[in-house]
Amino acid sequence: MKALVKEGPGEGLDLRDVSEPEIGPDDVLIKVHKTGICGTDIHIWNWDAWAARTVPTPLVTGHEFAGEIVALGRDVTDLHVGQRVSGEGHLIGKTSRQSRSGRFHLDPETRGIGVNEPGSFAEYLRLPAFNAVPLPDTIDDEIGAILDPLGNAVHTALSFDLIGEDVLITGAGPIGIMAAAVARHVGARHVVITDVNPLRLDLAAQVADVTPVNVATEDLKDVMSRLHMVQGFDVGLEMSGSQAALDQMVESLVMGGRIALLGIPPGKSPVDWSRIVLKALTIKGVYGREIFETWYKMIAMLENGLDVRKVITHRFKAADYRQGFEAMLSGQSGKVVLDWT
């Protein structure tokens, strides 16, 4: 089969023939239809320090996908051949305290497809049946292929009660934009999203009814007073990984405000803890999805009118993957989807 492989240290990925994965008794074989390119794939493409210490080579990369089951392991009874699925790319262990108590997303033994194990940038993917998530007919393959990052957005946005709250989202990357759509969908009052990239702020305004703010040219305080915010934002969703954005968020929150941190800073960064303490802020780190609870909620919201399709700005055949990675690397894109059919 064809697959996008990280052959070894260095930049790029190669599309080449590899053997089809063999499935075990508890696995399914999925014919991949569409895949999304994630920021993680860009780290692997660039072969930065994180990728070099994390990713074994050669490895089939990719972890955002939708497709169809074409074979079942002999012990799989609750899925069927022909079923359309997406799936959770975090493969959990079964022995940790967290896993055994059902908090799968906190399992320290978690391994990722396309990062530690063969991934979905391929014509076929092996996945534990446990990780497969059936797709209703209302969710097509294109949306199915971006459920992994939408799940990041949903997990972060649903970390705190947003009904009637004023929400600040820092970072209008694909995940920040989708989180803005979720915040609006669940009933936040004002949703303000910041970035320094005009194209992404325009995209945010097309995807959701939000107030985009370019913090390179506008003063967030002016926007807050225009929206008649007396004290500040109630909830912050940090989705940029930028130290400056987090500082601005802490500055702009109410006393007792709550922050969910999804963005990953590039390294250690100084934090003004006294401001956080004296504002009595709650800060929660967010990793991945809350596995099946997030998948359940996100599919339910999509079936109930949540619409994030416009976040997909580029579509390419898998053979043209280089153009897809170029679009991502330019910073002038939303989600980029590759077609493997």
**Out of 46, 83, 98, 197, the residue judged to bind ligand NAD by CB under 6 A:** 197
Closest approach of Cβ 337 to ligand NAD, in Å? 14
- Kindly name the residue from 33, 35, 43, 294 that is annotated as catalytic: 43
Q: Dihedral sign, CA of 135, 139, 142, 146?
A: negative
314: closest CA among 297, 329, 302, 299? Answer: 329
Q: Please choose, out of 188-196, 218-226, 296-304, 307-315, the segment that lies near ligand NAD by the rule CB under 6 A.
A: 188-196
Q: Does 49 bind ligand NAD (CB under 6 A)?
A: no
Gyration radius of the chain's alpha carbons: 20
- Kindly name the residue from 33, 35, 40, 155 that is annotated as catalytic: 40
Distance (Å, rounded) from C-alpha 288 to C-alpha 137? 25
Q: Does 89 bind ligand NAD (CB under 6 A)?
A: no
Distance (Å, rounded) from C-alpha 260 to C-alpha 160? 8
Q: Does 290 bind ligand NAD (CB under 6 A)?
A: no
Q: Does 244 bind ligand NAD (CB under 6 A)?
A: yes
Closest approach of Cβ 48 to ligand NAD, in Å? 12
Contact 223, 192 (CB under 8 A): yes
Q: Which of the residues 138 through 167 are near ligand NAD (CB under 6 A)?
A: 152
Q: Please choose, out of 49-57, 91-99, 122-130, 281-289, the segment that lies near ligand NAD by the rule CB under 6 A.
A: 281-289
**Out of 86, 110, 120, 194, the residue judged to bind ligand NAD by CB under 6 A:** 194
86: closest CA among 38, 146, 137? Answer: 146
* Residue 43 bears catalytic tag: yes
165: closest CA among 278, 246, 248, 257? Answer: 257
Q: Does 262 bind ligand NAD (CB under 6 A)?
A: yes
Residue number, 152 or 252, with CB nearest to ligand NAD: 152
166: closest CA among 246, 242, 254? Answer: 254
Q: Which DSSP letter does residue 15 get? A: E
Helices in the chain by DSSP H: which ranges?
39-46, 49-54, 97-100, 141-144, 147-157, 174-185, 198-207, 220-226, 243-252, 273-278, 292-303, 321-330
Which helix H or strand E contains 57, and what residues bound it? none
Q: Does 195 bind ligand NAD (CB under 6 A)?
A: yes
CA distances to 89, 169, 265 from 292, in Å: 12, 24, 27
Residue count (the chain)? 341
Q: Please choose, out of 122-130, 136-144, 190-198, 219-227, the segment that lies near ligand NAD by the rule CB under 6 A.
A: 190-198
Q: Which of the residues 166 through 185 are near ligand NAD (CB under 6 A)?
A: 170-176
Residue number of the CB atom closest to ligand NAD: 173
DSSP characters over 254-310: EEEEEEEE----SS-----HHHHHHTT-EEEE--S--THHHHHHHHHHHHTT---GG
**Out of 1, 20, 39, 46, the residue judged to bind ligand NAD by CB under 6 A:** 39
Distance (Å, rounded) from C-alpha 6 to C-alpha 236? 36
Q: Please choose, out of 18-26, 61-69, 93-101, 236-244, the segment that lies near ligand NAD by the rule CB under 6 A.
A: 236-244
Q: Does 211 bind ligand NAD (CB under 6 A)?
A: no
Residue number, 21 or 174, with CB nearest to ligand NAD: 174
* Residue 314 bears catalytic tag: no
Count of residues interacting with ligand NAD (CB under 6 A): 27
Closest approach of Cβ 172 to ligand NAD, in Å? 5
Q: Does 283 bind ligand NAD (CB under 6 A)?
A: no
Catalytic residues: 40, 43
Q: Which positions lie near ligand NAD, rule CB under 6 A?
A: 39, 152, 170-176, 194-197, 200, 215, 239-242, 244-245, 262-264, 286-288
